[in-house]
Amino acid sequence: MATLPLMDDRTAPSDSRAVFDDIRTRRQTDYVNNFWRALAHDPALLRATWERLNAVMAPGALDPLVKELIYIAVSTANGCGYCVHSHTAAARAKGMTPDQHAELLAVIGMASQTNALATALQVSVDDQFKA
């Protein structure tokens, strides 16, 4: 599957190859995963996405593992199978334990349920929740 063929070092434009190299360096692996290889058709989009991802996911007020958990949560709610797979792998690489994974799943399930109930009930926002 894919709506565009995956590129590799031979077929990618040189600007995209440079991003592949940056991915390899920062991640300390030879492997460039399929998402980046599909984006490589558009070097500008590839670079903008890769650089912004690094800025956003860097350590800051939130721990990098917490950011991965949030990423999995969003990807699940958006129904992106690729993203659920890749960020679950990334979270494990950053130390997510089986117990943390289990609690993440429980929270995602709970939130999805109360989201649906609040929407079906069309509950008005309480004044004290407004900024």
Binding mask 80-109 for a second copy (x = CB under 8 A): xxxxxxxxxx-------xxxxxxxxxxxxx
Distance CA 65, CA 32 (A): 21
Q: Where are the alpha helices (DSSP H) in the chain?
A: 14-27, 34-39, 43-57, 64-77, 81-93, 98-121
Q: Considering the rule CB under 8 A, would residue 115 count as an interface residue with a second copy?
A: yes
User: Tell me, what amino acid is at 35?
Assistant: F
User: Which of 10, 14, 25, 61 is close enough to bind a second copy by CB under 8 A?
Assistant: 61
Distance CA 79, CA 112 (A): 12
Q: Considering the rule CB under 8 A, would residue 30 count as an interface residue with a second copy?
A: no
Binding mask 34-53 for a second copy (x = CB under 8 A): xx--xx-xx-xx--xx--xx
Among 7-15, 16-24, 70-78, the segment contacting a second copy (CB under 8 A):
70-78
